[in-house]
Amino acid sequence: MDKSQFRLPELIQHFDTYNRTDGKSLATLRWYRQNLGAFLGWLIDAGRPITLGSVNENVVREYILWCQERRVHGHKITVQAVNCRVRSLRAFFNWLYRKGYTDTHLLQDVRPPRLPAVIVDTLSEEEIARIMSTQDQSTVLGSRNIAVLSVLFGVGLRLSKFVGLDTENVHIEEQYVKVMGKVVNNY
């Protein structure tokens, strides 16, 4: 069979199966499905063919430009969202190349849009103390909240990572927390 005639929906499904069996997180799987689905939807809405041979660097660049100019509820899609879409497309086309569906990595020269530098302000000790003082240590809920806040502030975890912690990865006596294979000391 001519590889260029493979349909993108089936290839995306194969990519999804590969990622699921490779142990990717549910959030990563959703991220790929959403971003690749948006690209596929754009192809369909534009009346373009959805076969592998019909997609090239220029088509993807047209899609990126469309994303950059598109407005949703009067607002442009964020640079971060466009960046995510490009990164997921690059990962998909890299996988297609590695698995032999394409002879080259078709998007090798396509780079995600540059993200603006963002400086995140950290909380001062006074701000942290004020937040902690809102919790009543004499209640079970307040004690739990103080423990949660202590880990979040002390370790610098994102809430999503904290929620995903397993109890076997929290080592109170040794004072470390294992997060996605990383060890963070002194919480």
Mean pLDDT by 10 residues, the chain (187 residues): 88 97 92 96 96 95 93 84 94 96 92 81 88 92 90 80 84 80 45
Whether 181 and 169 have beta carbons less than 8 Å apart is answered as no
Q: Give yes or no: residues 129 and 69 share one domain.
A: no
Report if residue 113 sits inside a domain.
no
CATH of the domain at 79: 1.10.150
Residue 141 in domain: yes
Q: What is the pLDDT of residue 1?
A: 65
Q: List Cα–Cα distances, 73 to 70, 76, 77, in angstroms.
A: 10, 8, 10
Report the 10 Å Cβ neighbour count for 187: 17
Quote the number of domains for the chain: 2
Residues 94 and 171 in one domain: no
pLDDT at 55: 95
Alpha-carbon torsion 22, 28, 29, 34, what sign? negative
Whether 29 and 94 map to the same domain: the answer is yes
Tokens 């995600």 found at: 112
The range of the structural domain enclosing residue 129 comes to 125-185
Q: What is the pTM (predicted TM-score) of this model? A: 0.68
**pLDDT value at residue 180:** 67
Q: Is residue 177 part of a domain?
A: yes
The pLDDT value recorded for residue 116 is: 77
Q: What are phi and psi of 170, to 5 degrees?
A: -110, 115
Q: What is the pLDDT of residue 83?
A: 93
